[in-house]
């Protein structure tokens, strides 16, 4: 399957700082990427849809000014958690949509970034 990477895999920061997470599709171009958040023992919750060259679409209840998304190229989307607080501590996972010519589209997930805000 297609490969999606995330960086960093783990980050610990102080409350009030900003953290940037990168999501890259390594062997395909992804016009659309998705950002999810997963709290312990819960399922994935979609935060926003990141579209290359346009503004991200946020799900209800997700603050767009707090979670800044930039999709500057067909292989890179970034999520910046601004002024992070302990309640933002979570597992952040991106996925990239692959639509091969002649095939059906599927989504592949990055390995995730574990954020701990102290």
Partner 1 sequence: QKEVEQNSGPLSVPEGAIASLNCTYSDRGSQSFFWYRQYSGKSPELIMFIYSNGDKEDGRFTAQLNKASQYVSLLIRDSQPSDSATYLCAVGSADSWGKLQFGAGTQVVVTP
x/- string (CB under 8 A) for partner 1, residues 29-48? ---x-x-------xxx-x--
Q: For residue 11, give the 3-state DSSP assignment.
A: strand
What is the β-pairing status of strands 10-13 and 19-25? unpaired
Q: For residue 3, give the 3-state DSSP assignment.
A: coil
Of 71-100, which residues contact partner 1 (CB under 8 A)? 91, 93, 95, 97
Q: How many residues does the chain have?
A: 118
What is the β-pairing status of strands 4-7 and 19-25? antiparallel
Q: For residue 107, state whether it binds partner 1 (rule: CB under 8 A).
A: yes
What is the β-pairing status of strands 10-13 and 113-117? parallel
Cα 99–26–109 angle (5° rounding)?
A: 65
User: Could you say which of 25, 81, 110, 115 contacts partner 1 (CB under 8 A)?
Assistant: 110
Give whichever of 13 and 44 is closer to partner 1, judged by the CB atom. 44
- Please count the residues of this chain forming the interface with partner 1, following the rule CB under 8 A: 21
Give whichever of 28 and 109 is closer to partner 1, judged by the CB atom. 109
Q: For residue 69, state whether it binds partner 1 (rule: CB under 8 A).
A: no
Footprint on this chain of partner 1 (rule: CB under 8 A): 1, 32, 34, 42-44, 46, 49, 91, 93, 95, 97, 104-112
């Amino acid at each position: 399957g297609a490969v999606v990477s995330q960086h960093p895999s783990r980050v610990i920061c102080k409350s009030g700082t900003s953290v940037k997470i990168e999501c890259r599709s390594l062997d395909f171009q992804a016009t659309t990427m998705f950002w999810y958040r997963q709290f312990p023992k819960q399922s994935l919750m979609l935060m926003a849809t990141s579209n290359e060259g346009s503004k991200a679409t946020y799900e209800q209840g997700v603050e767009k000014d707090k979670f800044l998304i930039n999709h500057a190229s067909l292989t890179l989307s970034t999520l910046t958690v601004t002024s992070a607080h302990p309640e933002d501590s979570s597992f952040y996972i991106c996925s990239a949509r692959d639509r091969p010519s002649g095939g059906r589209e599927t989504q592949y997930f990055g390995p995730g970034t574990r954020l701990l805000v102290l």
